[in-house]
Structures are given as C-alpha cells and as structure tokens.
C-alpha cells in the first residue's frame, strides 16, 4: 500500500504539473459501454454480469469509455479543451488457472477538444516527466510511436471498407504475439485481399519516417502529423525517448491517429503504458464527435520495471511518537498526552493495552517511532512524562504542557 501510494502520488503530482483536473467514474458501468465488435481481448475478458435489476453490467476494463460518456453528459457545460486525469481500478475476468491478476489500477490522462498533435506531444511529455521523477531514464525505457493513419492510407488504397478499420488494427496489434500465418489468416477472414495483406505487413516493418515517405509520399497526413510530433519532441527535449515504429497500432479498436507505447529497452516486460488519438469515440455513444487523445498507464509492469532496475523506493512506516502508560490506571494519562501531541500535528501510536516495556520497545522499532513517551506514576504526580529519543538513547523528563 505504501508503494502504491507512492506511485499514485507521483501520478497525481505529474498530472497537476501539467494542469490536469482529477476526475473519477463508477467502477460498475453498463456492459454496453464496452461492447465493441472488433474482436478485442478487452471484450473477451470483460468482467460482466446481470445485476439484481436484471441489468447487464460490467466492472470497467478501462477508463476511456467512461470518460467519453462523461464528456457527452457534460456537453456544453464544460469549456474545451478538457484536460482530465484519473487513477482507477480496472477489472478483467480471466480463469484463475492463468494465475494473473484480475484487477489493476490505471493512470489515465486525456485531452479533449484539441485536434492537432500538440496534444499527443504534451501527453508523451507528461509520461516522460513521470519516468524521470521515479528514476527511469531514456536508456531504460523508450516510446514506439506511429499513426493508424498509415494503416488507413494502405486500406484505402486497397478499398477496404472503413468499418473494418478497427478490426484490422486489433489483428495487427497481435503481431509478435501470435504466428504471422495466423495474422494473415485473420486478415483474410476480414476480407482483405492477398495483395492488401502483403502490402500491409510490408508497411508495418518500416522503421523510419524517410522510408515511410518513400512508401506513402510526402503529402500523406499520417506523415505530416508524425513529423510535427517529432519536431515538437525535439523542442520539449525528449527526442531520445521516442522512435517511429510503423508496427505499433495498439489493441484498442477506437484509436484513429497517433498511437504510442512505452517499452522497456531490455525487452523483458510487456508494454509499460500506451495511448493515442481517438477522434471517433464519442459518436459511438451517440454524442457529437470531439477530437480526443489519451493514455493508460497500469500499476503492474512499472513495478516490475522498478524491481528490475533496483529503483523500488524504501518506504518504511514512520511515526514520530509512541506513547504508553506503565500501569492501567494511567491509560487515561497516556490518552491525554497523545491528544495533546496530535493537536499539535504530531503523529502518535498510542499503546492501547497494558503491555510490558519490552513489548513497547519492540513495537517502537517495528513502526520506526522516533520518540517513546512513557506515562509513569512518579512523573505523572509532578505533571511530567519521561521521553526517550530512540535513535540516540537520550532520555529526559518534561512537563506535559511543554511536550511538542
């Protein structure tokens, strides 16, 4: 819990550093919010059920659909751009045999109402700021960046219907996760011609913007946007963190433009975070479309990375005072001393039972108390208590009123 609080504190401080407002949504939503027909894993693993009102509901697997619903609900009552962040528990339903977690926490930052790539550049910058705060450098982690407009351009040239776009992206996202022949089979089952499949896989292997320009031509929007993003990255000073990689499409069907994911350069871990532009999501829920982009950053892989790099912080419990009485009829005195110290904002662990001093010293060490305050009858008669500084062993008597 201390490690989680430390992580979330950093999420929050970075979000506030970038001027984002915190929001939250219900963990339980209508199942319909997450029903998409693009064959996504997030759909297959939906933690859904029927509630006592016979409603189909689900524990949210991600936060973005709830954010979209909230933007629509707020409608004209909020002024754009919206810069919102949330840290929320998300769920999936997997068989326990897989031994994987069913719940995790995700930090999300989203910018609603900004159509140009300055929004994506800002989001990537915020994640890099987070990494730097916790000691992760560009030699530990990088970002693979691409745009789904690359795929869209290819599909258009092979007249693949628009409504297949999300599904094709979800299939492509499985590259390097399932055999290439299965990818080809799934693409063919999505009615892509043999030629379209080959051209698609060809373009996905492109690793430089120059090469992409050779393939697609300089005027293609995908290219101009990516060039803008890389030029902004240079101004932010984070060029060494990002690289173009056409194979990055991300596995969520609703992305429509720039997509990015944070990866560990040693290649041992799954993606650390990911996000992108989703300009068409609001209309899928009956709202008017607004330009939108955002990312999700889970609390699991980052902890594995910190462990790999020996960067997990030492977060021992810390309390300033432990207060005890030497006999049960002085328990009230101990409570009074504790109350006085707490009124002054001092943290106190009050021993609540009549325990021998040996037990108190053990507990003081376990909770890392700085000071032991003993209420004993002799001192109490004089309105005093005995104080022991646990690090130095120094001890002295002091009037209760002078305690601070």
Ligand X SMILES: Nc1ccc(Br)nc1
Binding residues for L-histidine: 62-64, 92, 106, 110, 250, 254-255
Return left, alpha or beta for 51; rule: phi > 0 is left, psi -120 to 50 is alpha, else beta.
beta
Residues in contact with ligand X, counted by CB under 6 A, come to a total of 10
Q: Which residues 28-47 are close enough to bind ligand X by CB under 6 A?
A: 42
Q: Does 275 bind ligand X (CB under 6 A)?
A: no
How many whole angstroms separate alpha carbon 147 and alpha carbon 215? Answer: 15
Cβ nearer to ligand X, comparing 91 with 278: 91
Three-state DSSP string of 370-401: EEEEEECHHHHHCCEEEEEECCCCCEEEEEHH
Cβ nearer to ligand X, comparing 90 with 203: 90
How many whole angstroms separate alpha carbon 387 and alpha carbon 321? Answer: 10
Cα 154 to Cα 78, 90, 150, 199, 203, distances in angstroms: 37, 34, 7, 8, 8
Query: Beta-strand (E) ranges in 265-392?
Result: 273-277, 292-298, 319-325, 348-350, 369-375, 384-389
Q: How far is the CB of 378 from ligand X (least distance, A)?
A: 58
**Exposure of 243 in the CB half-sphere (CA atoms within 13 A):** 14
Q: Does 91 bind ligand X (CB under 6 A)?
A: yes
How many whole angstroms separate alpha carbon 369 and alpha carbon 28? Answer: 41
Q: Does 92 bind ligand X (CB under 6 A)?
A: yes
Binding segment for ligand X (CB under 6 A), chosen from 89-97, 170-178, 208-216, 332-340, is: 89-97
Q: How far is the CB of 39 from ligand X (least distance, A)?
A: 15
Q: How far is the CB of 14 from ligand X (least distance, A)?
A: 22
**Per-residue mark of binding to ligand X, 349-378 (x: CB under 6 A):** ------------------------------
Cβ nearer to ligand X, comparing 89 with 137: 89
**Per-residue mark of binding to ligand X, 158-187 (x: CB under 6 A):** ------------------------------
Query: Beta-strand (E) ranges in 3-68?
Result: 21-22, 28-30, 47-50, 56-59
Q: Where does this chain bind ligand X (CB under 6 A)?
A: 42, 61-62, 90-92, 101-104
């Amino acid at each position: 819990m201390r490690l989680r609080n430390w992580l979330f504190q950093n999420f929050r401080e970075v979000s506030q550093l970038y001027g984002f407002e915190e929001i939250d949504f219900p963990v339980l939503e209508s199942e319909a919010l997450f029903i998409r027909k693009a064959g996504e894993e997030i759909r297959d693993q939906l933690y859904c059920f029927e509630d006592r009102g016979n409603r189909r509901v689900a524990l949210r697997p991600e936060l973005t659909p709830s954010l979209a619903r909230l933007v629509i609900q707020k409608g004209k009552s909020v002024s754009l751009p919206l810069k919102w962040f949330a840290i929320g528990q998300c769920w999936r339903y997997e068989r326990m045999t897989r031994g994987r977690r069913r719940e995790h926490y995700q930090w999300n930052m989203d910018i609603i109402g900004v159509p140009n790539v300055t929004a994506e550049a800002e989001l990537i910058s915020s994640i890099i700021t987070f990494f730097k705060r916790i000691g992760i450098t560009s030699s530990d982690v990088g970002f693979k960046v691409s745009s789904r407009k690359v795929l869209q351009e290819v599909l258009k040239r092979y007249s693949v219907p628009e409504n297949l776009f999300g599904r094709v992206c979800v299939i492509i996202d499985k590259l390097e996760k399932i055999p290439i022949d299965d990818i080809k089979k799934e693409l063919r089952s999505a009615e892509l011609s043999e030629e379209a499949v080959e051209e698609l896989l060809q373009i996905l292997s492109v690793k430089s913007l120059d090469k992409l320009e050779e393939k697609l031509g300089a005027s293609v929007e995908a290219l101009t946007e990516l060039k803008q993003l890389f030029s902004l990255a240079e101004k932010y000073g984070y060029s060494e963190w990002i690289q173009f990689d056409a194979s990055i499409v991300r596995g969520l069907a609703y992305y429509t433009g720039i997509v990015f994911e944070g990866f560990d350069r040693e290649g041992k871990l799954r993606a650390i975070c990911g996000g992108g532009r989703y300009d068409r999501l609001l209309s899928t829920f009956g709202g008017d479309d607004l330009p939108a982009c955002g990312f999700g950053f889970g609390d699991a892989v980052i902890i594995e990375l910190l462990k790999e790099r020996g960067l997990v912080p030492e977060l021992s419990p810390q309390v300033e005072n432990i207060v005890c009485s030497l006999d049960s009829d002085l328990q009230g005195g101990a409570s009074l001393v504790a109350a006085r110290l707490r009124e002054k904002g001092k943290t106190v662990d009050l021993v609540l039972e009549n325990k021998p001093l040996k037990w108190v010293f053990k507990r003081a060490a376990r909770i890392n108390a700085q000071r032991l305050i003993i209420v004993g009858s002799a001192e109490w008669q004089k309105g005093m208590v005995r104080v022991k500084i646990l690090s130095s062993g120094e001890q002295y008597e002091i009037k209760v009123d002078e305690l601070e």
